[in-house]
Amino acid sequence: MLAAMRWLVYGCRRGDSLVFLYSGHGSQLVDTSNDELDGYDETLCPLDYKTNGMISDDEVHATIVQPLPVGVQLHAFIDACHSGSSLDLPYVCKLNRNGSWQWETYSRVHKKTSGGLAICFSGCDDNQTSSDTSAFTGDTITGAMTFCFIRAVESAPDITYGCMLHGMRMAIREANTGTGIGYPIACVLRKVFRTGLVQEPQLSSSDMFDIYQRSFIL
Show which residues are catalytic: 25, 81
Q: Name every residue whose Cβ is closer than 8 Å to that of residue 173 and which is 6 or more positions away in sequence.
A: none
DSSP-derived secondary structure letter, 68? P
Q: Mutual orientation of helices 161-177 and 144-155 as an angle, nearest 10°?
A: 130
Q: How many helices (DSSP H) and strands (DSSP E) are in the chain?
A: 6, 11
DSSP 141-179: -EEHHHHHHHHHHHH-TT-BHHHHHHHHHHHHHHHHH--
